[in-house]
């Protein structure tokens, strides 16, 4: 099955679900990319544009990709949850982003696995705790396994864990750690002649 067909199928499944009122944000990029990046969930800007990682976190992500000589077009970018988790601000009544809840992650998990099966990347790079756990099915912590290749979870042997790019916005000290982790990913790819 092609990724466009898969997205159409998922769109109609969502329309039949409790998430029918939400606008889906599907994966984007090269359909046969070597690297698939998996984020958490779209935010407000992504929902408006219908593309993953277009806000501040997107700029950070693009910067990191550039640092390892990759462009957005050369990778595939998706999220564990394909809708914007949101809540209403009690003060302003405006819609705010929130972390996805377990039910949302669970709903999309089988589709995330199918999506990754279709793209079949050499490396699945998870960005933060939510996609790390959603892809591996393991109760891992990003602080313990960032910058490493994780084998075994849900049968994947090619999962590489990175911090979420937004983590750097809130914690500048992580910037160096992020750069080191990216270097480890490059090293791994070089050792396998993938780069």
Interacting stretch for ligand URA, rule CB under 6 A, among 49-57, 87-95, 147-155, 175-183? Answer: 49-57
Judged by beta carbon, residue 81 or residue 140, the one nearer ligand URA is 81
Which residue's CB atom is positioned nearest to ligand URA?
39
CB 28 within 8 A of CB 77: yes
CB neighbour burial string for 124-161, b if at least 16 within 10 angstroms, e if fewer: bbbbbbbbbbbbbeeebebeebbbeebeebeebebbbb
Tell the smallest beta-carbon distance from residue 45 to ligand URA (Å): 8
Among 22, 27, 28, 46, binds ligand URA (CB under 6 A): 46
Of residues 60-79, those binding ligand URA (CB under 6 A): 79
Which residue blocks in the chain are alpha helix, DSSP H? 3-15, 44-49, 56-67, 102-119, 129-136, 142-145, 165-170, 174-191
First to last CA, the chain: 27
Stretch that binds ligand URA, among 37-45, 108-116, 135-143, 174-182 (CB under 6 A): 37-45
Q: Site map for ligand URA, 81-120, x if CB under 6 A?
A: ----------------------------------------
Spatial separation of the C-alpha atoms in residues 18 and 121, rounded to whole Å: 31
Can you tell me the distance from the alpha carbon of 123 to that of 37, in angstroms, rounded to the nearest whole number? 8
Minimum distance of ligand URA from residue 191's CB (angstroms): 28
Site map (CB under 6 A) of ligand URA, residues 123-162, x = contact: ----------------------------------------
Distance CA 164, CA 151 (A): 20
> Does the footprint of ligand URA cover residue 43 (CB under 6 A)?
yes
Burial annotation 76-102 (CB, 10 A radius, 16+ → b, else e)? bbbbbbbbbbbeeeeeeeeeebeebee
Q: Is 42 in the site for ligand URA (CB under 6 A)?
A: yes
**40 is a site residue for ligand URA (CB under 6 A):** yes
Residue ranges in contact with ligand URA by CB under 6 A:
39-43, 46, 52-53, 55, 57, 79
């Amino acid at each position: 099955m092609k990724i466009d067909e898969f997205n159409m199928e998922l769109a109609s499944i969502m329309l039949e679900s409790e998430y029918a009122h939400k606008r889906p944000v599907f994966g984007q990029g090269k359909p046969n990319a070597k690297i698939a990046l998996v984020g958490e969930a779209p935010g407000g800007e992504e929902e408006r544009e219908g593309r993953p990682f277009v806000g501040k976190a997107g700029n950070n992500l693009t910067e990191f990709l550039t640092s390892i000589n990759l462009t957005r077009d050369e990778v595939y970018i998706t999220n564990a949850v394909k809708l914007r988790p949101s809540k209403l601000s009690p003060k302003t009544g405006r819609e705010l982003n929130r972390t996805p809840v377990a039910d949302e992650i669970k709903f999309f998990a089988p589709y995330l696995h199918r999506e990754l099966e279709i793209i079949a990347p050499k490396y699945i790079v998870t960005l933060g705790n939510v996609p790390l756990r959603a892809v591996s099915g393991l109760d891992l912590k990003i602080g313990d396994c960032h910058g490493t290749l994780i084998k075994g979870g849900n049968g994947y042997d090619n999962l590489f864990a990175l911090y979420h790019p937004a983590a750097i916005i809130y914690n500048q000290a992580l910037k160096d750690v992020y750069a080191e982790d990216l270097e480890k990913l490059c090293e791994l790819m070089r050792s396998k002649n993938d780069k």
